[in-house]
Structure 1
């Protein structure tokens, strides 16, 4: 009886978990952008982060003083950032691509087209198409960027980075977490091969007669073809097949895959549950560092030097992310209104409602005094006093005092007239 077992002389490949973890050389695994995006845990995390940030709009503000900030609504740069950066891209695509580059590569590059001080286009470039040339200075560093052999200055680009040491090149998960990603790719490759070969179909083939050399080669090929197909298996009477059960180590592969998925999730610091508390942590821990990197890069590249000195700055509007359910939201509005932080019209505008005349008032703690932010006047219902710029505009107490004073004067005049009349009578 012959046992049909194949012996390979070529390079050994990991076929069990023990070989997979201890025998495999992770440095030989090809870890690149395309490969890691085939890992579901990685692609889903990057999609969640990039899609969330890409829905946010940039706003332009000017700091007037320590307590007042003015929003600038008409500016061509807002159109480029929030609507259409160029002929091919829309703003959502641009921001999503920038965030994905930041996470994966640690840097992102957007070319700026402008005429003098007028900004025309924002052109996204893949990180692989941009080469960075650094000089040898340790303190006063300088750099230039090249794209297809053409040289650019750093101020010709929006350059956002994470984990950078020079300001133009960063480190993303491809560099910071390479070994873990390589291990995940090995496990995924092992599973794919296992499923492709039919999983439990590995076993022992037996023949009741001796096979010649050519017959043996043909049968090896036939047995391999059988393992890689889901078609029914038909054997002649001289052949038999005994399947081998999976070993304990082979059965642990799914548990290891779940463990790797958890470790990959930890790379991005995404909370296990994205409930209200989990989503708040997601915004604070995961989104804020990326948002701050984008804002800093855009402020540096898209603001003129005079505007920076005058207090201009771009900021992503994260209000939609923190927008709670209606009960929680209106309870927060009530607290803000009672504390005098916001006026009724400011709250209405947050709910996309039109302002109402006369509702630009703020509740204050001094006897529920009311402050009108439109004309700068105060009204204290308890005293009936209305003041503006420190002067009394309408004072019911003053009115009463004037009335009392007039009555007293009339009374005095009447008494004087009576005395004169009395003197005249006596003289006569």
Structure 2
């Protein structure tokens, strides 16, 4: 269960590990605390969550009616259509609402919205904190608790739209919580790089006197002032003179010895692995890989099939399960318009239209409507290529086509 689910509603002591989770002080191998906001300070995590959230939120969400013949058609006048795809509440656009929900899935593993009704009609989905606690009361029923303006709000399950990421039980697993070791190491690596650059890449070490040399108090104070203190400030000299056989011995690894560049590259790939998207989407190409070409197209297609499609399906089913009534579920469903992903690829979109018209499962006017064009006379007829006929009728079709 998520962090909030473990500590909310019970007394915590200094020995309770959930308290340290909540305060961002959970033990990590690299010693850096990790929180959702802290994770978003990492460019790879920010880019990965942003791309995922913005891509999902940019897709059209359609209410589909299940007809008796098995065909699903878009219903433009269903009350949920405007609510889900245009204005979920009084303050947010649809894209803002869904970005926030998907951001919750990518960080805490859960997203919530309060369902507001006018009579029996759902009129708004108001955002709730991603850290909302999911608990079961004494009767075993789900409750959702979150603080609001100094008060604890408790909502029953029927008043909440809950999106769960991959996980088990009543909540989804938090990617930030489970990836805290990777994120902590990434934070530590970035901090090390920042500290190194802030000190002008100077190494730590000792000024070593020649064998047998001893300093009295006055000489020691002078050496400290002239060597140690002079090289400690931001305006430290770039070079200095070591007298009397004095030497400098470094005790810290150089950035090259620490393989800083390789570590930072691997950290990007590791963060992307937790988020379920290829590193090339955040501007990171693997060794020997270009940023363009057919290989990249295949990578993008795999991301759509193996990661993004799952998130879209998860949202579709959550809407059907937790927003629609049982009567509505028998007649309606919701579906993201995957074709929106082709909007920026004109050539691929037109080729898909061509195949659809030639194969006979879309009409010319259906395609024109998708492109925002006016219908044309005769454009509602199903058309197909004449050569696509049963093989035992090929000779008859050929004779009919002869002048």
Are positions 1:187 and 2:189 aligned together?
yes
The answer to whether the 8 A contact 1:109-1:157 is kept is: yes
CA distance in 1 between counterparts of 2:203 and 2:388 reads 81
Are positions 1:255 and 2:256 aligned together?
no
Point out the structure with max Rg over C-alpha. 1
CA distance in 1 between counterparts of 2:314 and 2:76 reads 23
1:36-86 residue CA offsets vs partner (Å, 9 max, x unmatched):
111221111111111111112221111012432232212443333223333
**Aligned pairs for 1:220-231 within 5 A:** 223=228, 226-230=231-235
The answer to whether the 8 A contact 1:203-1:241 is kept is: no
Task: Report the count of equivalent residues.
Answer: 344
User: Of 299, 314, 319, which residue of structure 2 is paired with 1:293?
Assistant: 314
> Which shifted more, 237-246 or 144-153?
237-246
CA distance in 2 between counterparts of 1:106 and 1:146 reads 16
Under a length normalisation based on structure 1, what TM-score does the superposition of the two structures give? 0.69
- Aligned residue for 1:91? 94
Are positions 1:265 and 2:269 aligned together?
no
CA distance in 2 between counterparts of 1:367 and 1:199 reads 73
CA distance in 1 between counterparts of 2:239 and 2:256 reads 31
CA distance in 1 between counterparts of 2:388 and 2:162 reads 50
CA distance in 2 between counterparts of 1:65 and 1:252 reads 64
- Aligned residue for 1:51? 54
Cα separation, partners in 2 of 1:88 and 1:205, compared to 1, 3 Å: farther
- Aligned residue for 1:176? 178
CA RMSD of aligned residues (A): 3.7
- Aligned residue for 2:301? 280
The answer to whether the 8 A contact 1:143-1:153 is kept is: yes
User: Of 313, 328, 350, which residue of structure 2 is paired with 1:307?
Assistant: 328
Q: Give the drift of 1:272.
A: 4.6
Are positions 1:332 and 2:334 aligned together?
no
Any unmatched runs of 5+ in structure 2? 1-26, 282-295, 390-396
**Aligned pairs for 1:270-419 within 5 A:** 270-273=277-280, 275-309=296-330, 311-323=331-343, 325-364=345-384
The answer to whether the 8 A contact 1:196-1:228 is kept is: no
Cα separation, partners in 2 of 1:194 and 1:247, compared to 1, 3 Å: closer
Any unmatched runs of 5+ in structure 1? 1-23, 370-379, 384-428
Cα separation, partners in 2 of 1:93 and 1:103, compared to 1, 3 Å: same
Cα separation, partners in 2 of 1:230 and 1:56, compared to 1, 3 Å: farther
| Helix, strand or coil at the partner of 1:108 | strand
The answer to whether the 8 A contact 1:209-1:238 is kept is: no
User: Of 138, 142, 162, which residue of structure 2 is paired with 1:159?
Assistant: 162
Q: Give the drift of 1:99.
A: 0.5
CA distance in 1 between counterparts of 2:191 and 2:387 reads 72
The answer to whether the 8 A contact 1:198-1:228 is kept is: no
> Which shifted more, 152-161 or 84-93?
84-93
- Aligned residue for 1:120? 123
| Helix, strand or coil at the partner of 2:122 | strand
The answer to whether the 8 A contact 1:202-1:227 is kept is: no
CA distance in 2 between counterparts of 1:161 and 1:73 reads 28
Are positions 1:40 and 2:43 aligned together?
yes
| Helix, strand or coil at the partner of 2:309 | helix
Q: Give the drift of 1:136.
A: 7.5
The answer to whether the 8 A contact 2:89-2:124 is kept is: yes
The answer to whether the 8 A contact 2:107-2:175 is kept is: yes
- Aligned residue for 2:33? 30
Q: Give the drift of 1:219.
A: 3.9
Under a length normalisation based on structure 2, what TM-score does the superposition of the two structures give? 0.73
CA distance in 2 between counterparts of 1:247 and 1:336 reads 60
- Aligned residue for 1:69? 72
The answer to whether the 8 A contact 1:337-1:363 is kept is: yes
Q: Give the drift of 1:365.
A: 6.3
| Helix, strand or coil at the partner of 1:186 | helix
| Helix, strand or coil at the partner of 1:320 | helix
- Aligned residue for 1:196? 198
The answer to whether the 8 A contact 2:109-2:171 is kept is: yes
| Helix, strand or coil at the partner of 1:160 | strand
Q: Give the drift of 1:119.
A: 2.1
Cα separation, partners in 2 of 1:39 and 1:224, compared to 1, 3 Å: farther
The answer to whether the 8 A contact 2:115-2:125 is kept is: yes
